[in-house]
Amino acid sequence: MRIKIATVGETVLRAEARPLTVEEIRSTAIRELIEHMRETLQDAPGVGLAAPQVGLPLQLAVIEDKAEYHRALSETELAERARRPVPFHVVINPSLHLLEPPQASFFEGCLSLPGFTAVVPRSRRVAVECLNEQGDAVRIEADGWYARILQHEIDHLHGTLYIDRMWSRSFCSLDNYSRFWKAKTARELAMEFRLAGDTAP
């Protein structure tokens, strides 16, 4: 079942999500929620979806970056972003640790802000301590685009959207991103927007 995705302006996207107990995680209701979120993510399509995006202030997110999503990017773009396929998995009650300063800056989008994108600085390497869908404790170490996805989704659990972290002058429609910015390297983007006086918050 596909769930309606909340869009910017809805208060649930700005609320602090609550943690789940192990009993809740193992309940039928949460198992069904995870499956519905998976279907919604694949239908969108997207690479991550947090529970607040489907109207529930819970510390739960699903992630999957399929190889087929990479076809629109060149080998050079994939290498620069360190983007590789990520299998479907669930993160619950995550604690995020940045292993490098947030200095990797690329365009980023969000299912809750459809039709737009902006440059967002993120850490290239992170560690996440969380529970999985069985309620077991796991530690994830991620780099490149996977690290970006984790940071983006965990932000959602704390009421933060990418527009809070973006270089404001880079904000644009997806059409204009494709026309003017898609082929530019991270260095070129930094030169363009830093010279224009933009700074990350």
CA geometry: angle 99, 101, 103, nearest 5 deg: 125
* Contact by Cβ (8 Å): 83, 186: no
pLDDT digits (tens, 9 = 90+) for 137-183: 999 999 999 999 999 999 999 999 999 999 999 999 999 999 999 88
Q: Which residue among the candidates 24, 39, 133, 153 is catalytic per the annotation?
A: 153
Please say if the pLDDT value at position 92 is more than 80: yes
Residues 6+ apart with CB under 8 A from 12: 6, 52, 55, 56, 57
- What pLDDT, on a 0 to 100 scale, did the predictor assign at position 177? 95
% residues pLDDT > 70 (the chain) = 96
Average pLDDT (180-190) is: 88
For the chain, the average pLDDT equals 94
Please say if the pLDDT value at position 198 is more than 80: no
pLDDT digits (tens, 9 = 90+) for 110-138: 999 999 999 999 999 999 999 999 999 99
The domains of the chain, with CATH numbers, are 11-104+122-166 (3.90.45.10)
**35 carries an active-site annotation:** no
